Structure 1
Amino acid sequence: MQAEAEENVSITEIAARVGIGMRCLQIAFAQHYGLTPREMLTRLRLDRARERLLAGEPGARVTAIALDAGFTHLSRFSVSYHQAFGERPVETLRRARAEPLLRAAE
């Protein structure tokens, strides 16, 4: 899941790749992580998007980062990101870009 989090992969496809049924996959995730496979995949994607946003690379755009992380519905990405990290993606990117400037001004 981690290796292909950015890919357009379905949970059914993941279950098939590991050779188990959907229900078995759901039960295993619930027992080990307390999440559904879909929630885990979303969390992996959110974490990857956050890493890139925190890098604050010049020219980086929230839309491109979200799409690269595997999100196809941008408003859902923004809502999920805010719920997970307490700020909007654009706020993370702005803060990351401002931090080096603030340090240089000190």
Structure 2
Amino acid sequence: MRLTTGAEFADRDAPKTPVQLERAEPIARTLFPLGERIDPEPWLGRRPCTPDMMPIIGPAPKHKGLWFSFGHAHHGLTLAAVTGRMIAEMVTGQKVFVDPTPFAPARFA
């Protein structure tokens, strides 16, 4: 079983603060027979975010044929199918099912 917690917004070089896991693990142990941890040190990772917290989805402004899809923060897997559909419709010239303008890479150009 994998035990996960939430997101913490901090400076890039901030030290680890596993407070959420330290609170969640004892509760999880009362509900499930977890046994010992596989990894003694919990994993904490960074999430790719943009300045406006919106993903970048669409054609690269200066490189024809290059398409971007990144910056989904901690929602990448959740938004993968929607983003894939958007990119597929844009690449093939179809009408995109949702307005792609708010996600356009050119907004940072």
Q: Tell me, yes or no, whether TM beats 0.5.
A: no
Higher relative contact order (CA 8 A, sep 6+): 1
* Larger helix fraction of residues: 1
Q: Which has the larger radius of gyration?
A: 2
Q: Normalized against structure 1, the TM-score is what?
A: 0.30
